[in-house]
Structure 1
Amino acid sequence: MNSLSFKKVDENEINKIVEDNKNFLTTSKNPSIKYLFRLPEGLVVNIYKTNTILLQGESCYEFANRYGLKVVQKESISKKTIKNIELPNIGCDEVGVGDFFGPLITCCAFVDKDFEIKYPELINKITDSKKINDLKIITLFEELKDKVIWEVYILENFKYNKAYDIYKNTHTLKAICHNQALKRLFRNNSDLIGNKIIMDQFVNERSYYNYLKDQETVINKIYFETKAESKYISVACASIIARYHFLKEIDRLEKEYSVNLPLGANNNVKEIVNKYKLEKSNEIDKFTKMHFNSKI
């Protein structure tokens, strides 16, 4: 198991990590540990009272890079600086990874070179979907849906659970779903082939393609960057479109199975999960990610 440690981490960076991952906060018997997080992909984040951070798990390098913790990445990513990538391009993002309920959804969105000129009123509204409330997500989707070319891939809970039983890795599922969405985009819009693709990085480039080694067709030449949804219009659009479809799927599942499906993975959500494990044992795998730990 990989592990990394960082001493005297800035308090502001610690607060950012705590805020972003609060749904995965758990208790620790070690009195020296201030915060302990167990993330769905198997990563354990220990934050000590001395402001030392210890990461344990296969994705610790990706987590460190995400938050600017200084570490040399194991595998080198393309030296090409993607910050110079201009429109047109294709952005990719996903939602549903950290939620007990609902599917995993990936989206890729093509934004043409004249987007900022044609739709200046939209530019200030487009940002990472995690920073937009649900009502605005729905409104923004209606404004965006006909102005960009997009595809989503929805891995419904029943199929998600079966796939997880095979791969035992959420990063693999995300990579497969992103690849599926991109294949759909190019299958339905062959004229877009050759445009640059930017993906919000959840693993490094080498690991991403390794996760796809058993796939018949793999879309390559993708540029990976952390927090890409806050840097590129296309990735932000993909984030918003994916979030819209996730909310619609949650609404559909609630009606179909007569359940209440709150978002996230906090203790209140875990209580509801445990309730459904008893009351809806024959249906729960249709709306719940079963590998999540529901212990409180």
Structure 2
Amino acid sequence: MIKKMNQKELAKKHIDELAENLEEFGCFVDNFSEKQYNFEYDIHFADNKFKLLVYFGKKGIKTVLQGKTSTPEFQTLYELVQEQPALFKDKILDHEPEEYIGSDETGKGDLFGPLVIAAVYVNGETKPKLLDLGVRDSKDLTDEIIWDIAIKISQIHGIEFEVMSVEPVEYNRVYTEEKNINKMLDKYHSAVVEKLIEKTNCKLVITDKFNKKEKELDASGRNKDVEFISMPKAEKFLGVAAASILARAKMIQWFKKNKLGTKPLPLGSSTDTEEFIKNNKELLGKIDLNNYAKLHFKTWKKLNVNTKS
């Protein structure tokens, strides 16, 4: 007989699942605690701090997001945490399709470096080869393994893929116009996916879902006969996992080439990154940050760093 979970257990399961989704999105989650009537933790996203609370009681489970509501980051997180898992069911696949394009991105939560988007076409011929290489979600792999697998993916006979690196100077220009990272992700995912559709005539695209709104991947309107599926934890599909590896490898390459003098630039936007900035203000003042960093992050203003060249 299956034991039915009580409200407190359901709330704990729910807040843990949300933490996984938030971390996949690029947030940093910490300070988890259990109160008398709720579970809660802090969310660090694009140098903003928010608090997520999941209450349990006789009336059921209630999810509350606290923080500066006027910020676009709050709206993005609100859409993410308010969506119940059941709403995904109509778009969840429980099997690996025979043929499809998988896309993924990296860098949206990093203060330094580019935004990188990749897409990979997989079919019956390339799938076994990707499996033999040990392809899986890049978050489960070290940088050395990612680099090695990425090279081997590019050498597979008949493999089709696209990688786009949006350099900081271009990222900053577009963000100044759009003021919305989700619109930018739609735009760049569309660009790499459409190139692969033209090459392969593939009719199915799978990409990771990061907010309540579906990615608008058919920007040109030319692919009305293509099915676009956006779903959580899409890295379980081989094509999306391969795309995550190619994107991450491109990011690793950028950080190897771009340093602050001899000092490696930090990944992420956590307190470690803030410490790096505090300790290197003089050096940072001698370079054009527009070429190295995403300037809309409030960290720069918070730490009183001049981002004007």
Question: Could you tell me how far 1:274 is from its partner in structure 2?
Answer: 4.3
Q: 1:159 aligns with which of 167, 170, 177?
A: 170
Query: Unpaired runs of 5+ in structure 2?
Result: 1-6, 67-73, 304-309
| Contact 2:109–2:269 (CA under 8 A) maintained in structure 1 | yes
Alpha-carbon displacement from aligned partner over 1:165-204 (angstroms, at most 9, x marks no partner): 11111111111111111233345x2xx1233111111234
Q: Kindly tell me: are residues 117 and 156 of structure 1, through their superposed partners in 2, closer, same or farther at Cα, counting changes over 3 Å?
A: closer
Q: Which residue of 2 aligns with 1:88?
A: 99
For 1:137 and 1:264, locate their aligned partners in 2 and report how far apart those are by CA, in whole Å. Answer: 18
> How far is the alpha carbon of 1:12 from its aligned partner?
5.2
Seen in structure 2, the aligned counterparts of structure 1 residues 224 and 33 have a Cα distance that, compared at 3 Å, is closer
Q: Is the 8 A contact 2:54 2:63 kept in 1?
A: yes
Helix, strand or coil: the match of 1:224?
strand
Task: State the Cα distance separating 1:88 from its structure 2 match.
Answer: 1.5
Closer/same/farther in 2, CA of residues 291 and 26 from structure 1, 3 Å limit: farther
How does the TM-score come out when normalised to structure 2? 0.73
Shift of 1:285: 1.9
1:142 aligned onto 2:143? no
* Equivalent pair of 1:108/1:150 in contact (CA under 8 Å): yes
CA distance in 2, matches of 1:259, 1:186: 41
* Structure 1 residue 131 displacement after superposition: 1.0
Q: Mapping of 1:65-144 within 5 angstroms?
A: 65=83, 69-70=84-85, 72=87, 79=90, 82-84=93-95, 86-117=97-128, 121-122=132-133, 125-144=134-153
Closer, same or farther: CA 33–163 of 1 in aligned 2, 3 Å: farther
**1:14-54 Cα shifts (integer Å, max 9, x gaps):** 45655764964589xxx998522142398944236979642
Q: Go from structure 1 to structure 2 and tell me whether the alpha carbon gap of 1:42 and 1:164 turns closer, same or farther (over 3 Å shift).
A: farther
Q: Which aligned pairs between 1:31-50 and structure 2 lie closer than 5 A? A: 34-40=40-46, 44-47=50-53
CA change 1:114–1:284 in 2 (3 A) is: same
8 A Cα contact 1:88 1:113, kept in partner: yes
Q: Distance in 1 between matches of 2:243 and 2:176?
A: 28
2:258 to 236, 253, 258: 253
Q: Which residue of 1 aligns with 2:206?
A: 198
Partner of 1:208: 215
Q: 2:266 matched to 1:266? A: no
Q: Structure 1 residue 217: deviation in Å?
A: 6.0
Find the aligned partners of 2:263 and 2:293 in 1 and give their Cα distance: 11
- DSSP-derived class of the 2:164 partner: strand
Q: Which has the higher strand share?
A: 2
Q: Name the structure 1 match of 2:12.
A: 11
C-alpha distance after superposition, 1:118-157 (max 9, x if no partner): 56533xx221101111111011112211223110111101
Question: RMSD of the TM alignment (CA)?
Answer: 3.6
CA distance in 2, matches of 1:245, 1:127: 17
Aligned length: 270
Aligned-partner residue type, residue 112 of structure 1:
N
Contact 1:201 1:228 in 2 (8 A): yes
SS of residue in 2 equivalent to 1:208: coil
Letter of the structure 1 residue corresponding to residue 98 of structure 2 = L
Query: Cα gap change, 1:170/1:96 in structure 2, threshold over 3 Å: closer, same or farther?
Result: same
Residue in structure 2 matched with residue 4 of structure 1 by the alignment = none
Is the contact made by 1:197 and 1:222 (CA closer than 8 Å) also made in structure 2?
Answer: yes
Q: State, as a whole percentage, how many aligned pairs show the same letter.
A: 23
Stretches of structure 1 that go unaligned for 5 or more consecutive residues are 1-6
Going from structure 1 to structure 2, the CA distance change for 1:49 and 1:84 (only over 3 Å counts) comes to: closer
2:145 & 2:164 partners in 1: Cα distance? 22
CA 1:218/1:247 → structure 2, altered by over 3 Å: closer, same or farther? Answer: farther
Matched, 1:233 2:259: no
For residues 120 and 129 of structure 1, the distance between their equivalents in structure 2, rounded to whole angstroms, comes to 14
Q: Which residue identity lines up with residue 53 of structure 2 in the other structure? A: I
TM-score in terms of structure 1 length: 0.75
Q: Is the 8 A contact 1:105 1:246 kept in 2?
A: yes
Render the CA deviation track for 1:76-135: whole Å, top value 9, x for unaligned: x9x46533451211100000111111100000000121334456533xx22110111111
